[in-house]
Amino acid sequence: MEAALLAWHAEKARDLPWRRTRDPYAILVSEVMLQQTQVERVIPRYRAWLERWPTARALAEASAADAIRAWQGLGYNRRALNLHRAARRIAASGWPADLTDLPGVGRYTADAVSCFAFGEPVLPVDTNVRRVQERAGKVFAATCAQALMDLGATVCLARIPRCDICPLATRCPSRGRRYEPLRKQSRFEGSFRQRRARALRLVADHPRQVEELDAEAFESLRADGLVIARAGVVALPE
C-alpha cells in the first residue's frame, strides 16, 4: 500500500509553500495557521507573515499586539498569541526537546514539526491522516505523511470518497462506502466568536474605553490574554 501511495503522490502532490523548507520556525507557523483554517486562506497569510518575521527571533522582538493585528482575518486569534509566546521561548532558550512545551503546541503540531523539519520518524496524525488509516485498516510510516494528507484532502474525502481514483482502492476494505455527513462547525455569523472578533478588531484599531465594547466579549478576550485593561482603557498586549 505504501509504495502505491508514494507513487501516486509523486505525481499528485500539492505544491504548498511550507513544503519547500525544513526550517522548523516556518513549519511551525504553517501548522499553527492551518489549525481550523483552509489551505487556500493560509497560503497568502503564511507568505506575508514570513516576509515580515522570517525567524523566531524576528517575531520574538515584535510586540504581541503586532502579531495579533497581523493575524486578523484568520480566526481563533489566540493562536497568534501562542505563536508569539512560542517564538519568544525559542529565541531565549532554543527549541525544547519536547515541542509540546511550547505555548499552543499540542501533540499533532509537535509531531508535524518533528517530522517535516527535524526528520524524526514520527507520523503526524491529523484528521485526513486518521481517516485514511482507519478506512485502509493500516498504520503508515512517517515517510507517507504528506501523501496521506493529500490523499485525505483530495481523494479520501470525509463524506463521499473518490474511490475510483484512489491508489489504495484495490486493497482498501472500505472501498465504495459512503458516510454520514459530518457535523459542521457552528455558524460564525451571529455567534459569540463573531462578537469576540468584532471587539478585538475595535481594540486592534486603537485602544477603547471598556464601556465601548461588548462586555461579555471583552471579558472573554481578557481571560485569553488577547487584550489588557488599564484604568478603564482596553488595548492589545505588549
The answer to whether residue 219 is catalytic is no
- Spatial distance between the Cα atoms of 63 and 51, rounded to a whole number of angstroms: 16
- Spatial distance between the Cα atoms of 191 and 134, rounded to a whole number of angstroms: 33
- Spatial distance between the Cα atoms of 83 and 25, rounded to a whole number of angstroms: 10
Active-site residue (options: 2, 11, 31, 238): 31
- Spatial distance between the Cα atoms of 145 and 161, rounded to a whole number of angstroms: 19
Cα–Cα distances (Å) from 197 to 58, 126, 171, in that order, read 26, 26, 46
Angle of helix 107-116 relative to helix 24-34, nearest 10 degrees, comes to 140
What does the block give as the cell for 115? 517530522
What does the block give as the cell for 110? 509537535
**Contacts within 8 Å (CB) and 24+ apart, 68-74:** 68/200, 68/204, 68/226, 68/236, 68/237, 69/204, 69/236, 72/200, 72/201, 72/204, 73/45, 74/33, 74/37, 74/41, 74/42, 74/45
Cβ–Cβ contacts within 10 Å for residue 198, how many?
A: 12
Q: What positions carry a catalytic annotation?
A: 31
